[in-house]
Amino acid sequence: MIIIHRKTGKKFYIEDKDKDFNTHFGIIKKEDLNKEPGSIIKSHLNEEFLILEDNFNDLVRYLKRGPQSIHEKDIGLLYSLVNISPGMKIVEGGTGSGILTSYLANSVRPNGKVYSYEIREDFYNIAKKNLEKLKLLDYVELKLKNINEGIDEKDIDLIILDIPDPWNTLDHAYNSLKFGGYLVSFLPNITSVLKLLYSNDKFLLIGVYENFYRKWIYEKGKVLRPRNLELVHTEFIVLFRKV
């Protein structure tokens, strides 16, 4: 469940409605937290909140993070570049906290599958708990394995690599993808992008992308302005296709 502070628009995720919830806008009683979505409730400081049902995007924002995750703006670009839809079989190299994994699993269900490879057990455990919280674990096979040692699955629609050395996965990816399938690599710097491009002699390069993002702030009755501290570069996206 989500509650929104009516004056500021700040959102809070309520995981346990059987306990009072403490915010810097005051304490909200558990009796109020159990009211119907759409209800307006007040803290002990008389600050008003609106109750909303949570959705997938709300829940993902409150998942536990371990390693740095793919940013939402780049996940959005990924979805515009490749057709991620129900029934697809996707391989992911570098599960991390399972944030991108969650988006993928939510998209391929009910009859698709995400096979996600991770070499660190601590990240694997974080991702597993996050997927369990979202009730998406049935659509994901988590694998504690280095994807550079081989990909077990065949006839895959899409392979996504969020690892530091994707050039070591190219042969495995080519053998695993079906004809027409996509390979996507997220990389932090242009040096790594160039090394990946120089190493490729099998895939058709579709493009190299960098996505910029700017949020604007509206101060009611005053001004509409860009946010002062903005997130610009996060990663490069390299897109290949098996043809």
131: annotated binding-site residue?
Answer: no
The 3-state secondary structure of 61-129 reads: HCCCCCCCCCCHHHHHHHHHHCCCCCCCEEEEECCCCCHHHHHHHHHHCCCCEEEEEECCHHHHHHHHH
118: annotated binding-site residue?
Answer: yes
100: annotated binding-site residue?
Answer: yes
User: Pairing between strand 2-5 and 48-52?
Assistant: antiparallel
162: annotated binding-site residue?
Answer: yes
Determine if the peptide bond prior to 110 is cis (ω within 30°).
yes
For residues 19 and 199, give the distance between their C-alpha atoms in angstroms, rounded to a whole number.
55
Which amino acid makes up residue 242?
A: K
99: annotated binding-site residue?
Answer: yes
Binding residues for S-adenosyl-L-methionine: 97-100, 118, 162
Residue positions in the annotated binding site? 97-100, 118, 162
